[in-house]
Amino acid sequence: MLASANTSSINDHEDGPRSVDNDESWIFFVSGPTGSGKSSVAKFLASKLQARFLEGDDVRVP
How many independent structural domains does the chain possess?
1
Q: Is residue 15 part of a domain?
A: no
Residue 1 has pLDDT above 50, yes or no: no
Residue 48 has pLDDT above 60, yes or no: yes
Q: Is residue 20 part of a domain?
A: no
Q: What pTM did the predictor assign?
A: 0.56
Q: Is residue 45 part of a domain?
A: yes
- The Cα-based distances of 43 to 51, 61, 62 in angstroms read 9, 22, 24
Q: Quickly state the pLDDT bin for 26 (edges 50, 70, 90).
A: confident
Domain coverage including residue 45: 28-56
Q: How far is CA 11 from the centre of its chain?
A: 15
